Amino acid sequence: MAEHDSQWRLAILKGNAWFKDLPAEALEEFARISRFRRYQNGEFIAARGVPPEGLLVVIRGAIRSATLAADGHEVVFSLIQPGYVWGLVAAIDGLGSVHDTQAHRRTDVLLVPRSAFLEILDASPELYGHFARLLCTRLRKAYTAVDEFALVPLRQRLARQLCTLAATAPGGLPEGDGATLRLTQSEIAVMLSAARPSVNRELKRLQEEGLVELGYRGVTIRQFAQLRDICANQGLLAS
């Protein structure tokens, strides 16, 4: 079975944004110690506070990383897509998982067990530099997220989400205009950690302005450029 083949795993790692720049020997080591694993849709991968088994390199599907509040509310932090990695912080510091994490559909991953991960790093400490820079990337993203939550109103967060989705849609869209995102408004609300009626109100507003068109289970982008403008408007200072 290809999934148990170290060469196959090496190929995966070579295609991964976070691993591909490592030296060849390190990659081979990681390929050797990693294991294939499949999660079913909705299956729990880690609970907040519990140390996870190791690093997960997403191959197919997606991993949803969120915090559940006692009252049932949920803040979705990220939807980790194929080519990215989950669990780096916990793998390095050995503490509990930062978020409650589940598979967002049927999801295939490579598991790099924490102990083996650390052994490789300790044997070649220069690799730490690479992962430290990765952590920096994450940190910058997290800081931005805080800023956005505190400063950016729903309308703009929605516009940004739509732009991002349109730009990274699996279909690959001509230039955004006319693209139809097949999502329910509830799903969009979850991504923004907002209430569904609020999202509906803002979507309606965008529709009145002619920027989008709403359908039964979808949103069609009509004026991609103007949507983009909304993101920039009144947002953070240009950097």
Partner DNA sequence: GCGGAATTGTCACGAAGGTTACAATCGGGC
Partner DNA sequence: GCCCGATTGTAACCTTCGTGACAATTCCGC
For its own copies, the binding residues (CB under 8 A) are 48-49, 67-71, 73, 75, 77, 89, 92-93, 95-96, 98-100, 121-122, 125-126, 128-129, 131-133, 135-140, 142-143, 145-147, 149-151, 193, 234-239
Nearer to its own copies, 30 or 77 (CB): 77
What number of CA atoms fall less than 13 Å from residue 112's CA on the CB side? 30
What number of CA atoms fall less than 13 Å from residue 150's CA on the CB side? 7
Measured CA distances, 95 to 83, 90, 99, 217 (Å): 24, 5, 12, 40
With CB under 5 to 8 Å by kind, the binding choice for 185 among DNA, its own copies, none is DNA
Return the residues of window 215-234 that contact DNA according to CB under 7 A: 215-218
- Torsion sign, CA atoms 20, 25, 26, 31: positive
With CB under 5 to 8 Å by kind, the binding choice for 163 among DNA, its own copies, none is none
CA distance 211 to 222: 5
Neighbours of 10 (CB within 10 A): 19
DSSP reduced 3-state for 55: strand
With CB under 5 to 8 Å by kind, the binding choice for 195 among its own copies, DNA, none is DNA
**Nearest one of 98, 93, 50 to 78, comparing CA atoms:** 98
With CB under 5 to 8 Å by kind, the binding choice for 81 among its own copies, DNA, none is none
With CB under 5 to 8 Å by kind, the binding choice for 172 among DNA, its own copies, none is none
For residue 106, state whether it binds DNA (rule: CB under 7 A). Answer: no
Nearer to its own copies, 16 or 97 (CB): 97
Return the residues of window 182-211 that contact DNA according to CB under 7 A: 184-186, 193-198, 200-201, 203-204
**Nearest one of 78, 233, 85, 56 to 159, comparing CA atoms:** 233
Nearer to its own copies, 79 or 89 (CB): 89
Q: Which of 15, 153, 171, 178 binds DNA (CB under 7 A)?
A: 153
CA distance 21 to 179: 34
Nearer to its own copies, 164 or 233 (CB): 233
Token duo for residue 127: 């690799």
Residues contacting DNA: total by CB under 7 A:
22
CA distance 193 to 139: 20
Chain residues in the site for DNA (CB under 7 A): 73, 153-155, 184-186, 193-198, 200-201, 203-204, 214-218
